[in-house]
Each structure stands twice: as structure tokens, then as C-alpha cells.
Amino acid sequence: MHDPSDTKAPHKFHASEAARLLDPRRTTDLAPAALLDALQVQPGNRIADIGCGNGFWLEHLMDLAPEGVRFEALDVSPGMLQALEQRLAHHPRWKDVTARLSEESRLPLADGTVDASLLANVHHELDDRVAFLREVLRVLVPGGRLALVDWEVPPEGVVPDRGPPVDHRVSRDTAIRELEEAGFQDIGSIPTSRDFHGLIGRRPR
């Protein structure tokens, strides 16, 4: 997640680079409507954007989600949450958002209280990825869904022109294996550009 004070983990995105998160080209890598479809969001649901940063994806979810949906915006960086509020406080659905300072090892949510969750470009930053995915599983309702979107490992010999270094990335196959190890079922795909993988997993009922 986006902890700007962590100088020991170069694979983590720093708040000083937050403006890069607002690049509109990100919607060509993942269509917001496809993300919402994969999460199967219904009126009255509660969505958690975990590692929300300054709210790029949260804003799109707020624009598209049915009325009555509530949003949890979680990040380990106070600076990111402050930027989130500055950007979105005037959004007509801001009243439906609860922003919470989180820890990587523990989400500030009760068991089984979230219907859908999003991890966008967070998975590769985690220190204990499977343990964190189990923590996401804990807060999901039975049958709740997780969308995991992250940078794909390019073919051998290809040097990417954007995103984190290759050795900081997690491959799609590894991400699937870790989702399954954490207890997620029915792993499926979300359409993305070739630079990313998009996965959807479900907590068992």
C-alpha cells in the first residue's frame, strides 16, 4: 500500500508521486464499467477500495455504482487520504464514503461486512501477500467478491516502459495461486490491457 514513510520497501508507491495516479490513460488499461460488472455491485452494497490512494478508481466507482451503495476508502498513508478528500469532497456521493487509515496487516473493518473489494496496483507492494488476501477475505461477506488488478510480468527480455520494475511485479499465475491459497474460489478474469492482469475471486458461501 502507499506508505510514504517506508524507506525500506522500494517496491511501495510513494505519496510524493500521487499525481501519476490520476493519469486518465488508466481507464484504457481497465474500463471502470468492466470493473463494476465484475464486482456485481447491487444497491445497498458496501464496496472497499483497499489502497485507494488519492481516489482515482474510487471516483469512477462513485460515478457508476447504483444509488444506495456505500464506499470504504482505505489506505496506510494519511497524505493519500488527505488528497482523496481534497479531490472528492465536492462529489455528490462523498456522503456515502468513509475514509479510514489502515494497516497492511489489519483492515479496520469488521468480519463479513463488505460485499465487494478492490485491490488496484496494490498486490505487488505487499510484504506478505497471502496473509493480506486472507485479511481481505475476512472482511468480505460470504459470496463477496474481490477484484485484483495489477501490473503483469512482461515476456522475458522485454523491458516495460512504465510501471514498477519487472522484479517487483507478480505474475498472473502467481496471483491466481495466492488467491486460491488465501481461500478465494471461482477465480475469473477481468479484461485489461496487456500490461496488466485483472482477476476476480469470491469468498466461499
Q: Is 198 helix (H, G, I), strand (E, B) or coil?
A: strand
Read off the pLDDT of residues 38-48 as tens digits, 9 standing for 90 and up: 999 999 999 99
R_g (Cα) of the chain, nearest Å: 16
C-alpha to C-alpha distance for 95 and 76, rounded to whole angstroms: 21
Read off the pLDDT of residues 54-90 as tens digits, 9 standing for 90 and up: 999 999 999 999 999 999 999 999 999 999 999 999 9
Q: 114-152 burial, b if ≥16 CB within 10 A, otherwise e?
A: bbbbbbbbbbbbbeebeebbebbbbbbbeebbbbbbbbb
Q: In the predicted model, is pLDDT for residue 144 greater than 80?
A: yes
Which pLDDT belongs to residue 148?
98
Which pLDDT belongs to residue 160?
86
Q: What is the pTM for the complete model shown?
A: 0.88
C-alpha to C-alpha distance for 86 and 79, rounded to whole angstroms: 11
Q: Which domains does the chain have, with CATH numbers?
A: 23-202 (3.40.50.150)
Mutual angle of helices 56-64 and 32-39, in 10-degree steps: 70
Query: For residue 157, what pLDDT band results from cuts at 50, 70 and 90?
Result: confident
Which pLDDT belongs to residue 14?
53
Which pLDDT belongs to residue 91?
97
| Beta partners for residue 149, in sequence order | 120, 198
**Residue 200, phi then psi, degrees to nearest 5:** -125, 135
